A = this chain, B = another copy of it.
Amino acid sequence: MNIVQTVKDRLSDLSKNEYKVAQQVLLDPEAIIHVSTATLAKQANVSEPTINRFCRRIGCKGYPDFKLQLAQQLAKGASYVNSQIDDDDNVSTVTDKIFSSTLSALANTQRTLDHAAIEKTISYLKDARKISFFGFGASASVAHDAQNKFARFTTPAIFSDDVLVQKVAALNSLPGDVIVCFSHTGRTKALCEIAQLGYDNQATVIGITAKGSPLAKYCHVVVSTEVPEDTDQYMPMASRIAQMVLIDAIVAGFALAHGEEIKQQLARVKAGLKDSRFPPQ
Q: Is the CB of B96 within 8 A of A266?
A: no
Chain B residues near A106: list those with CB within 8 A: 99, 102-103, 106
CB distance from A10 to the nearest CB of B (A): 17
CA distance A71 to B64 in the complex (A): 12
Chain B residues near A148: list those with CB within 8 A: 137-138, 140-141
Q: Is the CB of A253 within 8 A of B91?
A: yes
User: Could you say which of A136, A140, A241 has the most chain B C-beta atoms within 10 Å of its C-beta?
Assistant: A241
A165 within 8 A of B: no
CA distance A255 to B89 in the complex (A): 12
A245 within 8 A of B: yes
Copies in the complex: 2
Number of interface residues of A (CB under 8 A): 77
Among candidates B115, B119, B277, residue contacting A187 with C-beta atoms closer than 8 Å: B277
DSSP class of A's interface residues: helix, strand, loop or mixed?
Answer: helix
A residues 50-79 in Cβ contact with B at 8 Å: 64, 67-68, 71-76, 78-79
Q: Is the CB of B236 within 8 A of A102?
A: no
CA distance A67 to B69 in the complex (A): 12
Chain B residues near A42: list those with CB within 8 A: none
Q: Is the CB of A252 within 8 A of B119?
A: no
A residues 221-268 in Cβ contact with B at 8 Å: 233-236, 240-241, 244-246, 248-249, 251-253, 255-256, 263, 266-267
A107 within 8 A of B: yes
A167 within 8 A of B: no
A214 within 8 A of B: yes
Question: Which of the 9-residue segments A19-27, A171-179, A188-196, A201-209 touches chain B?
Answer: A188-196
CB distance from A222 to the nearest CB of B (A): 16
Chain B residues near A73: list those with CB within 8 A: 75
- Known interface pairs A192-B278, A251-B236, A266-B233; A256-B214 also in contact (CB < 8 Å): no
- Known interface pairs A91-B122, A144-B144, A276-B188; A245-B249 also in contact (CB < 8 Å): no
A40 within 8 A of B: no
Q: Is the CB of A87 within 8 A of B214?
A: no
Chain B residues near A89: list those with CB within 8 A: 256
User: Could you say which of A136, A149, A277 has the most chain B C-beta atoms within 10 Å of its C-beta?
Assistant: A277
CB distance from A8 to the nearest CB of B (A): 17
Q: Is the CB of B96 within 8 A of A187?
A: no
Among candidates B68, B87, B149, B241, residue contacting A68 with C-beta atoms closer than 8 Å: B68
Q: Is the CB of A149 within 8 A of B256?
A: no
Q: Which 6 A-B pairs have the closest CB atoms?
A: A141-B145, A72-B75, A236-B248, A75-B75, A99-B110, A95-B249
